[in-house]
Chains A and B, each alone.
Chain A
Amino acid sequence: MILSAIKTALLRTPARAVQLAVGLILACFALPAHAQESPYIVTYDHYLEEPGNLEVEYFSTFGTQRAGNDFHAFWMEFEYGATAWWTTEFYLDGQTTFNDSTLFTGFRWENRFRLLQSEHLINPVLYVEYEQTNGADKSLKEVEGHDVEADYAVPNAIARQDHDHEIESKLLLSGNFHGWNIAENTIATKNVTGGNPWEFGYAVGTSRPLALKASAQKCNFCRQNFIAGIEMYGGLGDRYRFGLHDTSHYLAPVVAWNLPSDWTIRLSPGFGLNDNSHRFLLRWGLSHEFEGFGSLIGHLFGGRQ
């Protein structure tokens, strides 16, 4: 009711609506934060979003498809640092299958909890996600169970009729050694809509900034702004047939460019490692972090100053 009243008011005064929109956009861009983001697309390290910050990310995946049409999957990600030990994220997924159709495939709600208060050699983070997607989802955010390339050849009109409600948990282990980050994720997923068994997957990655010291000047092309690495991910079967067989595996170099203008660009060409995998995946992402988003929202709702 309140929303419809606002909508009516905005429609009556389009000039004010434009002013409000421009104001909101300017407010967002007036609160930038310098990103120091990891380059991984699939693997998670143990770093959470800073408290009160919001990171908005767009990711794209182009995938080749044998016995079917190539596709372009994409998702928007809103990552909020609730506390220093809890980060929550909301995803909206979609995809275009060439010579077929474009469709919204669902949403995900993810939470990550830092289990240890201080830094250790290996730092565990608990990841819990609920996802409601349809069978046409091709984001390949992770590989689990017996996911194989042929699953993605089903036409959208048929695939979208299948609905998944999944609970996904991960144990993220990560640590830093002489400038290198090494991360390992173990995935366990349960589709709660049917009698599907628990499915498993993995992701491992390592990365390092090209320079460890910061330069004294702001610069776009300084080596410390680039972080390069490699990640590998794939399925581990399910409860009844556990293992590396009958599933897909990928190896993907990754690079992130953290710009001083507070944007991060990620690029990752991925290569299928067996016949069950897509031969080639090209992923890229663009993200921007907004500092003090939580305080801003708090003030909008009359929170403490």
Chain B
Amino acid sequence: MTRTDACRTSSPQKSGGGKLRSAFTKSSIALLLAGTYVLAQATGTPPARPDIYAPLAKAPKKAVTRHNPLETDPDAVLAGGKLFDEHCAECHGEMADGGKKGPSLRAPEVQQATPGALFWLLTNGVVRRGMPVWSKLPEPQRWQLVRYIKSLTPAAGPESAKPAAPLDSVPRQDRAGSAPGVSGAPHRAPGKTMNP
């Protein structure tokens, strides 16, 4: 693209292509809006597949056996909880018991997974199912998130795999410990892990 081309005014493309360009512009905008609408509908569908946790089982053995280097860090759970609120709560729910797009992280499949497997899943995402890769968070922050997830009170039974009820219908102060399948433990207790 050379701007000195501007001196060559009244090119044939310019005079003949006005309507075409206008039509292209309009159709591009229409396509963009239509795509947004269609995809918005698609992303609003709650996940109800029974194999929603299957990707965890795909973690390589080397990843599964990795230890969390922040296992003894007293601030890791609190920092992980902050990161969870910022990056994960939108999909997995404020209580991590399932949201509009993401499954419960209190489910036995998650709580029984090794820290290494959770770290592997965070790093690689499940792109085909809408879970982005989170390697943009530095490695220590991903381990902090793993500490937080493992500190959650596990939910009992398969109910936990279902998406949670819309949180809008529950007052915020009543949510802690009162969501379906969640025990009465506090949402986040600094330094207190509740590993199974």
Contacts and interface: CB of A to CB of B under 8 A. Distances in A.
Q: How large is the interface on A (under 10, 10 to 19, 20 to 34, 35 or more residues)?
A: 35 or more
A85 to B, nearest CB: 5
Given A34-B86, A214-B82, A297 B127 contact: no
Contact of A295 (B21, B24, B100, B139): B100
B44 A304 contact: yes
Interface stretch (B35-43, B110-118, B150-158): B35-43
A191 to B, nearest CB: 6
A82 B90 CA distance: 16
Contacts of B41: 298, 301, 303-304
Contacts of A57: none
Interface in B88-138: 90, 100-101, 123-133, 135-138
Contacts of A34: 85-87
A47 B140 contact: no
Interface stretch (A12-20, A163-171, A274-282): A163-171
Interface in A99-123: 107, 109, 114, 117-119
Contacts of B144: 213-214
Interface string A282-303: 0000000001111111110101
B5 interface: yes
B149 to A, nearest CB: 14
Say whether chain A's binding surface is mostly helix, strand, loop, or mixed.
Answer: loop
A88 interface: yes
Interface of B: 1-11, 13-14, 17, 21, 24-25, 28, 32, 35-37, 39-41, 43-45, 70, 75, 78-80, 82-83, 85-87, 90, 100-101, 123-133, 135-141, 144, 190
Interface of A: 33-34, 36, 38, 45, 47-48, 50-52, 80-85, 88, 90, 107, 109, 114, 117-119, 130, 132, 135-136, 144-147, 150-152, 154, 158-166, 176, 179, 181, 189, 191, 193-194, 196, 199, 209, 212-218, 224, 260, 291-299, 301, 303-305
13 contacts: A36-B136, A45-B136, A47-B133, A80-B36, A84-B127, A85-B127, A109-B32, A119-B125, A161-B14, A162-B3, A165-B17, A194-B13, A212-B139
Given A84-B125, A297-B36, A297-B37, 7 more contacts: A51-B132, A52-B39, A82-B35, A83-B130, A158-B7, A194-B5, A224-B138
